[in-house]
Structure 1
Amino acid sequence: MKINIDMKKLLLSILTLVAFASSSTVAQTTKIDVNIKGYNDSTLILGYYFNQKMLVKDTTTINSNGSYTFTSDQKLDEGLYIIYLDDKSYFDLLIGADQDFSVTTSKTDLLQQMSISGSAESADFLAYQRFLVSKQKEAEPIQEKLKVSNDPQTKKALQDQIAALSSDMKSKYETTINKHPDSFLSIFLKATQEVAVPQMQAPANSSNPDSAVQRMRYDYYKAHYFDNFKMDDDRILRTPLFAGKLDQYFKKVVLQMPDTIIKESHRVIAMANGNYEMERYLIQHLFNMANESKQMGMDAVMVSLGETYYLSGHADWVDDEFISKLQERVDKIKPNLLGQTAPDFKMQSYTEEYYKLSEVRAEITILVFWEPECGHCEKEIPKLNDEVWKKFKDQDIKIIAVYTQWEKDPWVEFIHDKELTEWIHLYDPHNRSNFRNNYDIYSTPVVYILDKDKKILAKRIGADQIPGFLNHYFKLN
């Protein structure tokens, strides 16, 4: 097997790696003898999977006999490890409870020539890998024939062969996990299995049975998505499966609505059931996912997780500086979350009139913060006029454009040059409204869309996205 990996970067990561230590580690020794025939006087790296990455645990130079012994005064955290060779070939090595064992293989075929003695759990994982590879090889020609076959009897015979292979793999899976109950091997193999959704029947009074069954199947799949993962066991973190499975749930399975994601985030975190490392990982991962999201409204998820787990003092792994910065960020975001009433303000126009946001009457108010010297504003503001104002001004909308600076002349000149005089143009020369904090203005342009009650419907939306949003809104209302 081959993997494209920069060995220099991998070696360099040793200098910065901080091992994700399990609270269950006990003071026992680890001794793993590795012998690779035909491979000597070269670099050997022991790595492990974590958070969709492969991290380095140890590195050494294998001797002239192709041998090396990994030793440690403490047991390694159980998980799926990787042995890398400097020609970029590698093999997976399951390290479970038994950590005094030997691995022998040959450079010519790392997997098929491998043998493991001293750890039944590791050896049975190797046997399971080989079994799957052999069944996949058997299935390939059958699947190719199935693609081109047009004869019903032939197709049926080929499908029966595939079903028999699937049955063999299922039997091997069940035999392996039953032989090692509660082991890391059992936990890992169970996690590789997809949730089986049972056949369902729509209620008798359903007006659209197909749609009802589809919804029932979705609800079941969502509710049972993590059934095959032991969520209160942090050993599952050290596999290539968990982070991807978690991301898929929150990005593909769960409806992309802030309230739904907030509810599901708390539900999934609770599945850790007090396991410190698992809970810590889930909190960090879901918080970072929300914080880095470009999707509108996901800042509400960040605020909820931040307040519940970080600002409450629950997350004891972060320092005071992080808490202070997070509190400041939450204070700026919270007043302008979707669904909140937009913070009121009173500002003056370039014609010396005063306007209060709450007193501007319109079905839709588009509130834009901008400045003429901003390169992006020079493009977006005229586009907002041409693509939004001119097309929707007869549908009871108003545009309030807040100038974020103080020099009046360039502002007024831009308004007239771009023929924006039908908008309401305001500014706050004495900084009395606190709009920068209330609306989280750290760059321009920033657009908010408000309903007739000045509740925030959308924010940080581009001018080219607004027509579609307004068409949808007016269609529903």
Structure 2
Amino acid sequence: IQVQVDGLNQDTVYLANYYGNKLYYSDTTVTDAKGRLTFPGRPYEQCGKHAIVIPGPKYFEFMAVTEDIVIETNAADPTANVNVIESDENKVFYEFLGFIGERRAIAAPYERTLGDSTATETQIQEARQVLTDLGEEVGAEQQRILNVHADKLFAKYLNMVLEPTIPEAPKNIANAQELQYRWYLDHYWDRVDFDDPRLVHDGSFHQILDTYWTRVLPQVPDTLLNSADRLIARAAGNDEMFKYITHYITFNSESSQVMCMDKIFVHMIDTYYATGQATWMNEEQLKKVMDRADELRDSQCGSIIPNIILPGLDQETWMSLYDIEAKYTAVLIWESTCGHCKKELPKYKELYKEWHPKGLEIYAIGNDFEPEPWQEFVEEQEYTDWINVSDNPLINAQDSASALIYGGVTTLKSLNFRTTFDVFATPKVFLLDKNKKIIGKQIGAEQMGDILGRLEEMERKGIPY
């Protein structure tokens, strides 16, 4: 990779590579007095969209492929002044960038017209027509590149951003939209060569993966989980793509705000990390993510919640979660000093009044380390209709805890409920079915009411949940 940047003189320059939609430094060198620099070519699996970063910082992009690359530009505006001396790949790339730049310049005044409240109807119609024509020109040029330069990496990148054209559904079909959606799902990844490791080195791959995962697929954990396994299976043998997809899904599910996505995180760790397939991680990193999966295991959706046995409001009567016989059980972990808890508890009180006759029980666990404030608050606010339990320093003392556990009074997971349920903030809420399976979590009272209503409706229709 040979580059001359006029205006540089013994300056430090970086070679950066895209990994998904992010740019990372991968090499560095110093120019000579005339701004000339050289980087070694990239191995095939590391080829893709790269950038030369000069002081400023400023940079220009290019396609690093397995051919000699010779490029000239200047330090004042490196992107605008690129001249590709040698590299068929980059000549195609920069010809397209030039084509797009010209069309954008033509489109700019017409786009301003559409945003101008004083524009006449004639001007608006003219602007729309021009922009439509320009869009068709761009589409035709993209198709030409795909046809003429199908062997180029840039053509593969370009193809990834082109949406599949959904065919018209047959006439007189009642579920035409559903049929078209299924076709779109089935053909969404047709534009991706799953054998080419270079595809992950461009933002377009991240874009279509992110769109697929967060917008195309229904945000239902079981559906997402099955789709994740199918997608990862398609990348088998392509280490770069396998790594990118697996990492994206794993950590997107861990940080997601969608209910029950931790189920996917635990599945990913168990299936791909604990089995030794995450070869990019060292032992310490693997242990960290596997420990995190273990922390979430007992509280993930779809699992049977561990039995919790804690003393009730009198701190003498031990009450077991599994002893509750109810169609639905809400486990509510809260504390008397938590402001958000104080706002939510009255709502749960109203929810309980409405839904207790229909089969809802609440097993409320006090998270206060001392029982007195919790007891006083429960009694003062009259939250005594449902089951209230909590721990206390006495039962958590080592000798006491051991005696209670070995005596069969309670369990380690009960006394360690904060760890069992990954309690870092309150309120922490779980909705259970009659078998104590977790069917919802981290939901407010109003959302729980909606979910219970939907579950009842599903039951009436004979739909399993």
* TM-score (structure 2 length as normaliser): 0.81
Q: Please tell me whether residue 114 in structure 1 is matched to residue 82 in structure 2.
A: yes
Worse overlay, 192-201 or 174-183? 174-183
Q: Which of residues 175, 185, 195 in structure 1 aligns to 2:154?
A: 185
Do the aligned partners of residues 128 and 398 (structure 1) sit closer, same or farther apart at CA in structure 2, a change above 3 Å counting? same
Tell me if structure 2 keeps the 8 A contact 1:146–1:155: no
- Of 429, 440, 452, the match for 1:458: 440
2:257 counterpart of 1:294: yes
- For 2:340 and 2:139, locate their aligned partners in 1 and report how far apart those are by CA, in whole Å: 60
With over 3 angstroms needed to count, the CA separation of the structure-2 counterparts of 1:457 and 1:75, relative to structure 1, is closer
1:133 aligns with 2:101: yes
> For each residue in 1:255-298, what CA deviation from the matched residue of structure 2 results, as whole angstroms up to 9, or x when unmatched?
00001111111111122131112112211121111122222110
Q: More displaced, 356-365 or 128-137?
A: 356-365
1:115 & 1:73 partners in 2: Cα distance?
19
- Determine which of 8, 19, 23 is the counterpart of 1:50: 19
Q: Can you give the 5+ residue segments of structure 2 that lack an aligned partner in the other structure?
A: 396-403, 460-465
Q: Are the counterparts in 1 of residues 111 and 127 from structure 2 also a CA contact under 8 Å?
A: no
Query: Aligned letter for 1:334?
Result: R
Instruction: Write out aligned runs for 1:91-170 (5 A).
Output: 91-99=60-68, 101-107=69-75, 110-141=78-109, 150=121, 155=125, 159=129, 165-170=134-139
1:368 aligns with 2:332: yes
Shift of 1:169: 3.3
1:199 counterpart = 2:168:
yes
**Secondary structure of the equivalent of 2:253?**
helix
Q: Distance in 2 between matches of 1:401 and 1:172?
A: 63
1:47-74 Cα deviation digits (max 9, x unpaired) = 2222321112334554553x22123276
Distance 1:407 1:203, change over 3 A: same
Q: 1:415 aligns with which of 378, 381, 402?
A: 378
Structure 1 residue 301: Cα displacement? 0.6
Q: Which moved more, 1:260-269 or 1:231-240?
A: 231-240
The 1:64/1:365 distance shift into structure 2, 3 A limit, reads same
Does the CA-based 8 Å contact 1:78-1:184 persist in structure 2? no
State the match for 1:337 in structure 2.
300
| Amino acid paired to 2:429 | V
Are 1:287 and 1:305, in contact at CA under 8 Å, matched by a contact in 2? yes
Alignment RMSD, CA only?
3.3
Summarize deviations over 1:131-189 as a string: whole Å, max 9, x none: 1221333344556668867469x959973x55654454344334434444433222222
How far apart are the structure 1 equivalents of 2:60 and 2:33? Answer: 20
| Aligned-pair CA distance for 1:250 | 0.5
What is the CA–CA distance in structure 2 between the aligned matches of 1:246 and 1:85, rounded to whole Å? Answer: 31
Q: The residue matched to 1:72 in structure 2 has which SS?
A: coil
Deviations 1:402-447 (A, max 9, x none): 2356744333222212222222122453462323255444554321
% of aligned pairs identical?
Answer: 26
Asked whether the 8 Å contact 2:250–2:269 carries over to 1, the reply is yes
Letter in 2 for 1:270: A
CA distance in 2, matches of 1:448, 1:166: 50
Could you say if the C-alpha distance between residues 195 and 113 of structure 1 is closer, same or farther in structure 2, counting changes exceeding 3 Å? same
1:42 positional shift:
5.0
Contact 1:449 1:457 in 2 (8 A): yes
CA distance, structure 1, for counterparts of residue 367 and residue 128 of structure 2: 70
Tell me, yes or no, if the aligned pair for 1:96 and 1:183 is still in contact at 8 Å.
Answer: no
Compute the displacement of 1:476 (Å).
5.1
2:311·2:390 contact (CA, 8 Å) conserved in 1? yes
Q: 2:229 aligns with which of 242, 256, 266?
A: 266
CA 1:74–1:349: 2 relative to 1, 3 Å: closer
- Deviation for aligned residue 1:88: 4.2
Residue 71 in structure 1 maps to residue 39 in structure 2:
yes
Distance 1:81 1:255 in 2: 34
Name which of structure 1's ranges 161-170 and 253-262 shifts more when overlaid on structure 2.
161-170
Q: Is the 8 A contact 1:415 1:421 kept in 2?
A: yes
Any conservation in 2 of the 1:49–1:55 contact (CA below 8 Å)? Answer: yes
How far apart, CA to CA, are the structure 2 residues paired with 1:111 and 1:377? Answer: 51
**1:242 alignment partner AA:** F
Q: Distance in 1 between matches of 2:90 and 2:283?
A: 43
